[in-house]
Structure 1
Amino acid sequence: MASEECRLKGAGLTFSSSFREVTLLLSVTQGLASLRMDFCNLRLPLLILAALGCCSASSPLLNTETKGVIGKNVTFKTTITSTQDFLTITWNFNKNSVIAPIITSVLVTNTINIDKKYASRIIYSNTTCELQLGPLVKEDEGEYNLNIVTIRGESLSGQIDLEVLGSSL
């Protein structure tokens, strides 16, 4: 086959080659461009999946919502069986974008801080991080958050929504 001067489209290169070699080169280049385009189209979904994979540690809470009755107690159950790898454990109450701390436990110093408002109304388990609240009042209705920081600097968190129902009478 006779060699002739060819111009590679879009690359601005001029070279001498046979027609068959140019066709093969163009096919390979288009295939690579197609592969790059496919990867670019998949980049966002891959990033989303990677982020979900990094953040998909299951919640330390057993449920995402629960109901309680005015005057009765409610327990926020967890999946935790040991706190030996934890640095801090915090339970917060969130209502109308106001976050109020209920209890904070700093395990390395063996310190527990309980908000005065909850001091006579909660029972906290040091081994399971479960929180019992009561007797319930209507104002207890809202979102409760459990936040844990481990000795490896990882953060575990869970949220449970409490609905407080009227008296059982």
Structure 2
Amino acid sequence: MTYLSRIRINPLRKDSRKLLSNPRAVHGAVMGGLPNHKPDDRVLWRMDPDNPHRPHLFVLSPTRPDWTHIIQDCGWPDADGDHAAVRDYTPLLSQLAVGREFAFRLTASPVQNTATPTKATPAQAARLTTRAENGKRIRGFRMGHRTAAAQLDWFLTRTDRWGFDIPATRSDPAAPGI
């Protein structure tokens, strides 16, 4: 069974400011809330800063989580209301079907691996020199795509593998009276 969680974060607390500014801290806090986590389980999380006064942490996990530590350190532990909502994700998954359209946000890191960077940093140049001297094959360099066109191409070439597609732009007719 899969669970979707929403945790309220108090941005005025010291530990929550660490979460809001450091993705590694969020990852650690999320993994700390999954007592039955297996190494091959996928856990997805997203910090939703739409409202800077009331950010939320969303987590999709294969096991039932316990967010007590996040509520105590980063939430409003003594306030009224629902601090962390944990719901079964199965009803939504059962509604997925071919042809259904969903909207979502994605944060990704569009990168490529290359053995020969065009503008090598001093550390990369040293590794290339060492590789040439030893004749050994070393792992390539991970380089981020810097242009919007390259990032979009990186994304669009992977959507089919990820199980969805991005529909072509469409122009809907104008609403009546506009």
TM-score normalised by structure 2 residue count: 0.27
Would you tell me which structure has more strand in proportion to its own residues? 1
More helix by proportion, 1 or 2?
2
TM-score, scaled relative to structure 1: 0.28
